[in-house]
Amino acid sequence: MPCEWPFELQVNNLPNSFPFGEIAVNKIIKEIIPENDMTIFTVIGKVAAHEIVAAIRDFYENDVTSNILWDLNKSDLSESISADVERIADLSVQYAGKRPTGKTAIVGSDDFTFGISRMYEITKEIAKLPFKTQAFRDIEAAYAWLLSD
């Protein structure tokens, strides 16, 4: 069941902005797929690090699943800096005991988003967390990796 922070919302193929003005859509949509023990976060538009942190905190404090897919294909992370990546990775370290196994896939098809995703992947590897993290450019490959043994 998809939900937006903090409101319910179902969105498919929503653009980053509307053609009739400067109205931007900035959302993090969460969908839990119980049969795959998976949570999918879809990030749309320009979203600040504190909003991602809030989504992660909510995940660890409420509905923890073994597998997470972050779909950043429609996001704008242009204001992200390495300190934000480290802050988000530190949060995963803080909650590591609540998720002793599993995988996190981060999908960003453009070079900048993929690069930020790789930074996060490497930061988490250094922290030696019990779950695997991998950056992808293709959402189908990420999904297949999450479901593989």
Specify the fold of 3-147: Transcription Regulator spoIIAA (3.30.750)
Band (25; pLDDT cuts 50, 70, 90): low
Q: What angle do CA 67, 70, 72 make, to 5 degrees?
A: 165
Q: How many CB atoms lie within 10 A of CB 38?
A: 20
CA-based diameter of the chain, in Å? 47
Altogether, the residues listed in the chain come to a count of: 149
Do strands 38-46 and 27-33 pair parallel, antiparallel, or not at all (unpaired)?
A: antiparallel
Give Cα separations from 84 to 12, 13, 36, 38, 116 (angstroms).
28, 27, 29, 24, 10
Q: What is the pTM of this model?
A: 0.79
> What whole-number distance in Å separates Cα of residue 49 and Cα of residue 127?
20
Task: Write the pLDDT tens digit of every residue in 77-118.
Answer: 877 776 788 888 888 888 888 888 889 999 999 998 899 889
Domain boundaries, the chain: 3-147
**Which residues face 17 on adjacent strands?**
24
